[in-house]
Amino acid sequence: MQQVSNYTQELTNRISPIVEKLFEGSSFYIMRLKKQEMVEYMVSLFENFSPEEFKNILESELKSRILKLLTLEAVSGSLNDLTLDQVRIFDEFVIGE
């Protein structure tokens, strides 16, 4: 059990500064997401990697993956904020009508 918590701490130590930096540069993330929840979410996702696999992810690649995940999380609820007309316009655009 101690090994799992050590790995979780390693993940947190590496992921947290990346999330922190990405939030600093984005008012969109600040408005849409809770930073600590996102750190915990990222840690839970990356726990699926073995410690060796995670260590082998380059810092730039890890940042890119976290950026994509944060963006997905931030925009996933955006459609809920649209009016019916806006949803119709969005659907037409996506479908290509």
Q: What does the pLDDT profile of the chain (97 residues) look like in tens digits?
A: 455 589 999 999 999 999 999 999 899 899 989 999 999 999 999 999 999 999 999 999 999 999 999 998 888 877 777 788 888 887 787 776 5
pTM of the model: 0.77
Q: Are 18 and 46 in contact (CB under 8 A)?
A: no
- Extract the tokens encoding 41: 């979410």
pLDDT for the residue 58: 97
Task: Please give the Cα distance from 50 to 14 (Å, whole number).
Answer: 15
Task: Please give the Cα distance from 10 to 64 (Å, whole number).
Answer: 19
